[in-house]
Structures are given as C-alpha cells and as structure tokens.
Amino acid sequence: VIDIRKLYAETGYFTYDPGFTSTGSCESKITYIDGDEGILLHRGYAIEDLAENCNFLEVCYLLLHGELPSPEQLSTFDKTITYHTMVHEQINYFLRGFRRDAHPMAILCGVTGALSSFYHDSTDIEDPHQRMIASHRLIAKLPTMAAMAYKYSVGQPFMYPRNDLSYAENFLYMTFGVPCEPFKVNPILSRAMDRIFILHADHEQNASTSTVRLAGSSGANPFACIAAGIASLWGPAHGGANEAVLKMLQEIGSKDRIPEFIKRAKDKNDSFRLMGFGHRVYKNFDPRAQVMRKTCHEVLGELGITNDPLLDIAMELERIALEDDYFIEKKLYPNVDFYSGIILKAMGFPTSMFTVLFAVARTVGWIAQWKEMIEDPGQKIGRPRQLYTGATQRKFVPQNERG
Ligand code: ACO
C-alpha cells in the first residue's frame, strides 16, 4: 500500500482517480464485498443468511454493534427503536409546507436535515451516548417521515406509529393504513418489506455512504449528514435506479420491442443504458439480486399476479441480456434494483416512493459508517485534491475595459 500522504508531503504528487474507482477512503469493519465472486458480508455474515434468518432490526443491531444480538439484547433494542418512532409534532407542520406534488425524496431530504433543529442534544457528536441516541432516532424516525411523505402526496391523514407492530409491519401500516379501516398485515408482504430493508441496509463506500462520511468528516451533525446521503441516493445511477427500471419497462412496453432497447444500450452514440444492469463493484451476480428475485416471485404469487406485463418484459429482458455477448463481456448482471421496483409496484407503492424505501433501509448503514468514522482516531476531514485544467494566472481587466 502506497502511503499517499507521505508521497504528497515529499513530492507534491497526488493520485488522479475520477470516480474514486481505485481509491480506498477509509478503513472499515462493517461490510465486505467481493464483486468478482458475488459475495456480500455484513460483519462477516453472508447477506443470504441474514436475509433468510434475521429481521431488519437484528441486522441494524449487527451493523451498529458489530455482533448479532442475544434475544434480550434484541428485545431491548426493539423497545429502544419503537420508543423513538414518533416525530416532534412540529415536524407535521414543517412537512405541510411542501408543495402537494413535491417528490417524496425532496421531502425526506428536507425533513431529515430539519431533525437537527428538533433534537439539539443529539447534535453533540463528541458524546458517544448522544451518537447512539442519534442513531436510534434516525433508524426509528425515517419510516415515520417516509410514510408521512407518501400520505401527504395522496392527501390522506398521517398515521401515528404503532409500536405493537414490527418495524416492517408498522411501516406498511403508516403507509397504507387509514383511520377509518382496520389494518390487516399480510405476513408475506411484511416479510418481503423486511427483506427489502435488510438487502439495502449497507453496501460499504457507495456514493451516498461516501457522501455521509465526507459530510461528517467536517464534524457536521448526524441528521445533516444523513440528509446529504439521501440527496446523493436520489440520483438514477444510484438509489433512483429502481424507479428508472420501472420507467424503462413501461417505455419498452412489450416483449417484441426488447431487441430495439438492447441495441440502443450497446450503441455508444446513444446515452441509453439498461437500467437495473451493471454495478461498479459486482462483476458477477449481485447476491442481493438473487434474494430479491426469489422475493419478487413470492410476492407476485401471494398477490395472485401471474401475468403482469411489466414482469413478463423484465423476465424476458433478463434472459436476453444474460445471453448477449455485450453484457457478458462487460460483466453486466441484473442488480438489486432490477427486481425491487417490480416488487414494490406489486405491493402498491408508487414509483416516486421506491428510492424513499431505499433511504429508510440504508439509514442504518449510513449511521453505522458515520459512527465508525467519528470513532476512528485517525479520522481527518475529507479533502480530495483536483487536477486543475483552467487558465494560468492572467492580468486582471477592469470592468470598463472588458468586452
Ligand atoms: N447498460 C449498457 N451498458 C452499460 C451499462 C448498462 N446498464 N452499465 C455499464 N455499461 C457499459 C458502459 O457503457 C461501459 O462501456 P465501455 O467500456 O464501452 O465504455 C462499461 O459498461 C462500463 O461502464 P461504467 O459506466 O464505466 O461502469 P461503472 O462501474 O462506472 O457504472 C453503473 C456502474 C453506474 C451502476 C452502471 O452500470 C449503470 O449506469 N447502470 C444502470 C443504472 C443502475 O442500474 N444503477 C444501479 C446501481 S446499483 C445501486 O445503486 C444499488
């Protein structure tokens, strides 16, 4: 490993690495990915095992504390999180200030940042106890605020959290429940929701997590840092991809038009890409996509959706792309977003909520990474250098002599 800091101090040289494709920005003990082999481990545990055997809060505990919880630890953690699910009542009024047609990601980004003005105690990042409370608050409140953003967009009343329900059930209740009707949780759907949360919980130094770390490296408070992460996640090359997948499938419209779109994806003069294919790190099947594919079929089976035209197009697209030389050569496999959009649509979420759900799930990863950074004695403010390509120094021209 080259000590870049030493090299820079001695020679003035620095690495030029657009997109940081080969630059490690930190040490971390949280998540391990082997993109060539298609392996994803959280604290050493395979994502497939966690998705199969744990609930989301167990995985949250693991990411935050480094170990899987004992039954007592899980019960205490569960109570701690549910204790924080309500948001300050003023947040209701704050949220109502958004335009009715605001994108829920815009709302989530704004409201999460605003938490720093409601929970001043948790902005003391020097205090380990407060850092943990901030983590609990964020994990607990994100689903509440996400559901509020949805309710606001459809003109329904906000549903207060129900702490007798599990994390995933409560989220479905706050999103789809209405005050005048009893709410019945479908266990297959709540399990699918829980699994979607687990599969998105952390993914080492992706764009949004790096954004959280970079924002936090200056000492910014955790709510502001997570809001920065949400902003970064919003982009279609990152968390916005599952929304983009659905739009693409709708645009394709029918199976016979797939070859036309495959051709476009391969054309270097066309900016079109197959959404839901490819990954910066995975050059093999994304292990999360495998679990998501299985969950997708379970959900559609449960809901009795046997001939969904978009799903038919998706399955045919997957088959054709996996046999296509271009995709094989460039190692472009379906990623987690390819299937998650289809599941979420079947569950009744509008496409504008897809990235919001990703943000709810990823909050634990962001906050675990933020904590790890703050607690690292070698932590420094993030400050990349640049390769300057602008003008060399020139003589100043007074305004009246210009043009
Ligand atoms: N469709 C067609 N061609 C593609 C695709 C795609 N989806 N993805 C990559 N390629 C091609 C590129 O054109 C490039 O070709 P070239 O070598 O001839 O120039 C080559 O594959 C490598 O692509 P890069 O953009 O250099 O790969 P990078 O690692 O930077 O990009 C990314 C990864 C952004 C995910 C990309 O594959 C993509 O845009 N995919 C579609 C969007 C998507 O699904 N994003 C979700 C990511 S997963 C997540 O955030 C949870």
Per-residue pLDDT of the chain (403 residues), as tens digits, is 677 778 777 888 888 999 998 889 999 999 999 999 999 999 999 999 999 999 999 999 999 999 999 999 999 999 999 999 999 999 999 999 999 999 999 999 999 999 999 998 888 899 999 999 999 999 999 999 999 999 999 999 999 999 999 999 999 999 999 999 998 989 999 999 999 999 999 999 999 999 999 999 999 999 999 999 999 999 988 888 888 899 999 999 999 999 999 999 999 999 999 999 999 888 888 899 989 988 988 888 888 887 778 888 998 999 999 999 999 999 999 988 888 888 998 899 998 999 999 999 999 999 999 999 999 998 889 999 899 999 999 999 999 999 8
Report the alpha-carbon distance of residue 403 to residue 392 in Å, rounded.
20
Beta-carbon neighbour count of residue 197 at 10 Å?
Answer: 26
The model's pTM is 0.90
Beta-carbon neighbour count of residue 298 at 10 Å?
Answer: 15
Closest protein CA for atom 32 of ligand 1: 279
SS3 25: coil
The atom of ligand 1 lying closest to the CA of 203 is 51
Q: Which positions are catalytic? A: 279, 337
Q: Which residues of 43-61 are buried (b: 16+ CB within 10 A; e: fewer)?
A: bebebeebbeebbbbbbbb
Closest protein CA for atom 41 of ligand 1: 275
Question: Ligand 1 centre from 378 Cα, in Å?
Answer: 33
Question: Ligand 1 centre from 73 Cα, in Å?
Answer: 41
Closest protein CA for atom 27 of ligand 1: 280
Retrieve residue 393's tokens.
Answer: 């120094």
**What ipTM was predicted for this assembly?**
0.93
Q: How far is CA 310 from the centre of its chain?
A: 23
Ligand 1 pocket member 328 (CB < 6 A): no
Query: Per this entry, what is the length of the chain?
Result: 403
